[in-house]
Every structure is written in structure tokens, then in C-alpha cells.
Amino acid sequence: MLKPSGKRILGEVKKILGDDQGSSFVEKEASGNYRFFVFGPSGSGEKLHAENGLPFYDVLIHGYRRWLLLGEEELQRVAEKAKEALEFQQTSAYMFFEEKLPELKEEFGLKKYIEVNQEVGDVIFVPPGWFRVSLSLADSISYYEQLLYQVPVVEAIVRNTIWNPNYRQFNLGFCYPGDKVVSETGGLNNAEANAWMEDQFKNQVTDKDYPYPIMQVLTSCAKILASEGKVSSLINIEKTKCSKKVWTSCRKMLVEKTKKLKKDVLLDWVPEKFDDLIAKSTGTDTTSATGKAKEKGKIKKKEEL
């Protein structure tokens, strides 16, 4: 079978995620790029999230932007009272400032946060682990860069992309059926939290919510597992939860959901087994030594005949 071209892979990613999100995914996630220019029309913005738990800065070149920043401790305190206000299906940045923020302040006691407007030339620095929402109040352009300043940051990037409930990163859960999310991921820290998470995956998320987080897990694990010999000396791979078993589960769920969504894609660029991905990228023959020996014996017998 011919190796799929980069153009066709990009085409399939766009079919699965949509043109804009698909292009963004390839540029930011699949490429591993942590510095880029951000373009946003008035009214656009990013939902409440932590930037993989990593510090970053954003320099506004053009436009006007509104930010809200809050630490993990404050978010967790409020989240205990306001789970319905911070569910998986979060509102847009615009609706967050219009509706959710007043609700969180007045009804759920949100107090420790920073709200600021960013003008041209202003630099916003967000410390590691802080959550943020940003909204373009006018057509805006900025330069963004995550600060990869220590070796442990590599582990943090992967963990916080795959599974780190402390930073509200639940991507790995999308690789499993709702009733198996707790058992396969290890769950949260208590029975009540596990029941809440299971309810979210069984009753709140929809089929269209699955592809993006699954593809984030696949691309992150591919980078780690493909260079395990080098990376394992720097980070604890087990903590990232990346494994060949996880790869197989995520790939299976991606196929299932794209079929349900009637996406016309082959996904042959995402092999069923991770070893096949290594073979495709390196041209390595994955046939076992025993299999090769048997094949060699068959050839020799034929020659003798």
C-alpha cells in the first residue's frame, strides 16, 4: 500500500476537525511548535484552560484583548461549588465574560483572579499552572511563546496534554467508552469525583467532541514512544500514561467516532499498532526474528529442490 501523502493526511484532518481547527491542529499540535503568531477577529478567543500547565507570554502587536487569569487553587475551590459552570463543554470566551464570570463571582464566590485589558505593546505573562480566558475586543495579532526552560517541562507537556485532572486535562478519557473511563485512566481522587466524571463522559459529551482530544493524545504519545530510548532518560514515561495499549485504544475510538460522524476518511496514516507506525516512519521490517528465520528456511528448501 502506498504511503499516504502529507496533503491527503491534512485533508483528512480537516474533514475530521473542520478546516480551521484542522489546520490549527497540524500547525500547533502535530508539529510540536510552541511559538507562533496568533490572529483573532473581534469577538474570538480561547475558553478557560491552562496552557498545558506551562508558563507562556503573549505580546500584542495589533488590536485589543481582554484577559482573565486565576490560579489552580482558586479554580479548584470554585469548581467544587460550580461544577455545572465549568463542565467539559465550556462556553466561548465571549459568553464567559458576558455570563459565566458574573455568575462565578456573585453565586460561587470567585475572588482571587486577575482581569486586565491588553493594548498594543503589552506583554502578558502567565505563570505555570494558571488558567486563563482571552477575548479579542478588536481584530488582534500577537506573538505567543511557551517557555520550555527545564527538562521536566517535557514531561509536563505530555502529561498535561494527555491526562492531568489537576489542570482539567481529560483527553485520555475520550479514548474509552464512558463506563470504562474511570477504570482505564485511574480515575480521580474519590468516589464522588469518579461518579461525576463518568456521568460527563456517558451523558454530557457527544460524538463530535471525541476526535480532537483523541488526536491530541495520539500525536503526543507518538512523539514520546517513537523516541523512547532518548526520552526515557529524561522523564518518567509511565507518568505520561503513553503506551502501545493506549495507542491502540485511542486509534480504535477515533475510527469508531469518525464512522458515526460519517467522515469519509481512511485513517491509514494512524496504524492500528504503534510498532507499525515506527516501521512506516523508519522503513524498518517489523517481522520477528523467528518469522524471518522460518522464511529463510523456506527459501533454502526451495533452492535445494
Q: Give the pLDDT mean for 14-20.
A: 92
Give the whole-angstrom CA distance, residue 79 versus residue 175: 25
What phi and psi, each to the nearest 5 degrees, are found at residue 239?
-65, -25
Query: Strand 56-62 to strand 140-146: parallel, antiparallel, or no bridges (unpaired)?
Result: antiparallel
What's the pLDDT score for residue 224? 78
| pLDDT per position as a tens digit, 143-163 | 998 876 666 666 777 777 899
| pLDDT per position as a tens digit, 153-190 | 667 777 778 998 877 789 999 999 999 999 999 998 88
| Most confident listed range (33-42, 63-72, 87-96) | 63-72
Q: Is the pLDDT of residue 293 over 60?
A: no
The partner residues of 68 in beta bridges, in order of sequence, read 115, 133
What's the pLDDT score for residue 44? 92
Percentages of the chain per state (helix, strand, coil), in multiples of 5: 55, 15, 30
Task: Report yes or no: 153 and 54 within 8 Å, Cβ to Cβ.
Answer: yes
Q: Is the pLDDT of residue 237 over 50?
A: yes
Task: Report yes or no: 285 and 279 within 8 Å, Cβ to Cβ.
Answer: yes
How many CB atoms are located within 10 Å of the residue 96 CB?
Answer: 21
Residue recorded with cell 464567559: 96
Helical ranges in the chain per DSSP H: 6-17, 19-24, 72-81, 93-95, 101-108, 152-162, 181-185, 191-199, 211-226, 228-231, 237-240, 244-260, 274-282, 289-304
| pLDDT per position as a tens digit, 191-204 | 999 999 999 999 99
What phi and psi, each to the nearest 5 degrees, are found at residue 90?
-75, 155
| pLDDT per position as a tens digit, 20-36 | 888 888 877 665 567 88
Q: Could you tell me where the beta strands, DSSP code E, fall in the chain?
A: 35-40, 45-50, 56-62, 65-70, 114-118, 123-126, 131-136, 140-146
Q: Which residue intervals of the chain bear CATH 2.60.120.650?
A: 35-147
What phi and psi, each to the nearest 5 degrees, are found at residue 74?
-70, -40
pLDDT band at 79 (very low <50, low <70, confident <90, very high): confident
At the topology level, CATH places domain 35-147 in Jelly Rolls (2.60.120)
Share of the chain above pLDDT 70, in %: 78
